[in-house]
Amino acid sequence: MSEMWHYSRRALMMKSSIIRETLKLTKKPGVISFGGGLPAPELFPIKDLDEAAHKVLTEQGENALQYATTEGYPPLREFLAKRMENFGVEVSPDEIMITGGSQQGLDMCGRVLLDWGDVVVSPRPTYLGAIQAFNAYFPKYVTLPSDDDGMTVDGLKEILETNNPRMIYLVPTFQNPDGRTIPAHRRQRILELAKTYGVPVIEDDPYSELVYKGTIPSPMKAMDSDTVIMLGTFSKLLAPGLRIAWLIAPPGVIDKFIRMKQGADLHTNTFAQYVVYEFLNAGKFDVHIAKIKKLYAKRLKIMIEAMEHYFPAEVKFTRPNGGLFLWVELPGKVDTSELLHKAVEKNVAYIPGTAFYPDGGGRNSMRLNYSKPTESEIGEGIKRLADVFKEALVKK
């Protein structure tokens, strides 16, 4: 009998996600997990979404349950075009496509922009989910190191000149995984170079609404609309289970995305789009965002205070002013993938940094999330982690 399952090269290349594997480990009862990137479920606006869903079904059920256009529900796209004005982004609803999560937006960027072996430029570390999405199109990664201000630009010109990259992928504001933000002057420099060498910038932006302290620079999309494709999502602002997000691309470019998405899934869940729009239109969004910001700001503060108190002095960490994550770096010799087993024994978990390095590195680093664990879990979890670090540092 001959072998039935001949997998595509794409399927054979796909590795199991380290995040999924780590999350499995952390399911052990009693483990305090800083591993996921989950919003606080106690703040999901369940009652308001229930009301919105009821209204949609009773008043517009026939449309909300029907097939619809690939680009998405027009009132939702109009709302988003208006909302983007708050950030200085001037776009027409025709430049916006609703996607099934930003993860689908990333996949679409891969499908539309990448052929086998094309180069993607990104910082190291960068968002793991983007690496996974792009990997299906077999790119090569050329990465630049990060400092406190996110991706550094020394060497970017040479990379653009010699590698003919197809995109620069960035999470410029409160990056997942490190919480770093690229300041305006650096954004400007990246855009100047991108424009000169004709390389689009993918600005993945789930976190600009989650500012807890200070202000953030304008989105890169506001600085140079023609060069930038911007992704936004309701996952961290309302609920990730809704899978409602959006992609903004220049006129002409957006048509390629719409055609590509049509082949993938026809359109994003119509009912969910209507429900989200109903929620937004009821004027509840800003109140809700204020509520989640208040809680996450508190959790971030508690985490930083606990880290300052318990962590050994050699352990460095970022102090973001927004988003959901911060980044920890141990002295060079410590391997955080090995250390994870020790940490889980002590009932605390994180994601090892190597997951966020598309071309290797990051062995002594880790990502921590502070939106999902409760305040008391944060204090206790950081204490446990500090014990794991102290043991590891004594051994080295």
Ligand X SMILES: Cc1ncc(COP(=O)(O)O)c(C=O)c1O
Task: Give the binding site for ligand X (CB under 6 A).
Answer: 37, 101-103, 127, 129, 171, 176, 204, 206, 233, 235, 240, 245
* Residue among 126 and 354 whose Cβ is closer to ligand X: 126
Query: How far apart (Å, rounded) are the C-alpha atoms in residues 116 and 130?
Result: 16
Query: How far apart (Å, rounded) are the C-alpha atoms in residues 107 and 131?
Result: 10
Do 254 and 97 meet the contact criterion of CB atoms below 8 Å apart?
Answer: yes
* Residue among 372 and 384 whose Cβ is closer to ligand X: 372
Helix (H, G, I), strand (E, B) or coil at 155: coil
Query: How far apart (Å, rounded) are the C-alpha atoms in residues 46 and 36?
Result: 21
Q: At what angle do helices 128-135 and 101-113 cross, to 10 degrees?
A: 40
Q: How far is the CB of 99 from ligand X (least distance, A)?
A: 8
Helix (H, G, I), strand (E, B) or coil at 122: strand
Pairing of strands 140-147, 119-124: parallel
Query: How far apart (Å, rounded) are the C-alpha atoms in residues 57 and 207?
Result: 31
Do 234 and 276 meet the contact criterion of CB atoms below 8 Å apart?
Answer: yes
* Residue among 169 and 274 whose Cβ is closer to ligand X: 169
* Residue among 198 and 241 whose Cβ is closer to ligand X: 241
Q: How far is the CB of 158 from ligand X (least distance, A)?
A: 26
Listed in sequence order, the DSSP H helices in 119-231 are 128-135, 156-163, 184-197, 220-223
Q: Which residue is nearest to ligand X (CB)?
A: 101
Q: How far is the CB of 235 from ligand X (least distance, A)?
A: 3
* Residue among 171 and 193 whose Cβ is closer to ligand X: 171
Q: How far is the CB of 207 from ligand X (least distance, A)?
A: 7
Q: How far is the CB of 114 from ligand X (least distance, A)?
A: 17
* Residue among 235 and 365 whose Cβ is closer to ligand X: 235
Q: How far is the CB of 229 from ligand X (least distance, A)?
A: 13
